Amino acid sequence: MHIIGAVLILAVFMRGLYLITNDDPLEVLLAKLEGAFANGGIAVLQYRRKKVTKEDQIYEVEYMKALCAEYAVPFVINDDLEMAVKYGVGVHLGQDDGSIADAAAQLPQGVLIGCSCNNSLELAEQAIAEGANYVAFGAIYATDTKPEAGNIGLETLKQAKAKLNVPICAIGGLTVENSDVVITAGADLCAVISDILGRPMNHIPERLDEWSELFSATV
């Protein structure tokens, strides 16, 4: 199978935990990521380090790109199309962070291109038409990362699952304990930060296993 075809099939059937980096000190973050990848259970890794300078991001992105390649996990960069193009990886864009059409035109074939669609099916349909191969809705629950984001509930996920033909990512306050209904409503991917990276390093493998069991048990 051609590489492009394989990656496109991955996007269609992608399911599981969508891990977003936090602002831990780099040594701590990389140690947690190394352990998490070795354990398994991560479907996508998103690089999001808002407090790190552009210069320092270069090493971090290169390291995480290599880590993702080693474990065959798709890698996306948050809100920075220029950097995604430079490293030939995927990108995730918010509504005010650039054009999905530009991303589709500039990035290599087959990388992930995602878009935050808040609570709007119309925004999701537009993003897909422009080249997004997954879409994200949220915040599902209250979150400290984006306190300004409203809680959207589950109805949009249900409608998106019935109407859209790309993977659906739910984000916002998700934990193993509250996500069974989110997955049942239509989420193919659950995006988390603190439920994995906010835990002590020795607790992360068990939590990843709990997420994997949840996805296996929830249809």
As a whole number of angstroms, the distance between CA 5 and CA 12 comes to 11
Count of structural domains, the chain: 1
CATH number, residue 43: 3.20.20.70
Q: What is the pLDDT of residues 159-214, one digit of tens each?
A: 999 999 999 999 999 999 999 999 999 999 999 999 999 999 999 999 999 999 99
Average pLDDT, the chain: 91
Q: What is the pLDDT of residues 131-160, one digit of tens each?
A: 999 999 999 987 766 665 567 779 999 999
Neighbours of 50 (CB within 10 A): 9
DSSP-assigned beta bridge partners for residue 199: none
Residue 7 scores a pLDDT above 50: no
Q: Which domain holds residue 40?
A: 3-217
Is 13 exposed, middle or buried, given 0-12, 13-18 or 19+ CB atoms closer than 10 A?
A: exposed
pLDDT for the residue numbered 146: 61
- At residue 9 the predicted structure's pLDDT band, cuts being 50, 70 and 90, is very low
Q: What is the pLDDT of residues 11-34, one digit of tens each?
A: 556 999 999 999 999 999 999 999
